Amino acid sequence: MKCPYCGAADTRVVDSRPVDGGLAIRRRRECVQCGRRFTTYERPQLEPLMVKKRSGKREAFDPDKLLRGLLLACEKRPVDPERLKRFAYTFEDQVEGPEISSEEIGRRAMAFLKELDPVAYIRFASVYREFDSVERFIEEIKALEEGE
């Protein structure tokens, strides 16, 4: 498996143990090139994390889709893309239960970006929160400037 941090082709498993009462295997992997570690889970694909959209439709969670949104929000901003990758590819492991709403994904992504870069946060929020008016958009920017 490729390293999600530096993209090196080779990573080795440093620890492997059953979790969830033996229904999943948790592996700690270490990159041979950059030495960073990350976790993978091997689970039966009976219940992938499902995303409930505003329309009520459901679809399987796609970390690449989340990553694309984050990268777009951070375009030309001084943000390390590796941090965005880490957030997107570990997202599923932070979710409890088999389903999450698209609003909740947006909310968590916004909280993450708010810490990272205020401009990226506003860009992302303007899409995902669907500002209902220009006034609300401006309020949001002012709140950020005041350090809220």
Looking at beta carbons only, is 26 or 85 nearer to Zn ion?
Answer: 85
Sole residue written with tokens 């080779």: 10
H or E stretch covering 33: none
DSSP 102: H
Contact letters for Zn ion, residues 13-42 (x by CB under 5 A): ------------------x-xx--------
Nearest 5°: CA angle at 42, between 26 and 56?
Answer: 115
Looking at beta carbons only, is 5 or 124 nearer to Zn ion?
Answer: 5
Strands 24-31 and 11-19: antiparallel
Looking at beta carbons only, is 8 or 49 nearer to Zn ion?
Answer: 8
Contact letters for Zn ion, residues 103-122 (x by CB under 5 A): --------------------
52 three-class SS: strand
Smallest separation, CB 4 to Zn ion (Å): 8
Under rule CB under 5 A, residue 73 binds Zn ion: no
Q: What is d(CA 118, CA 97) in angstroms, rounded to the nearest whole number?
A: 30
Which residues contribute to the site for Zn ion (CB under 5 A)?
Answer: 3, 5-6, 8, 31, 33-34
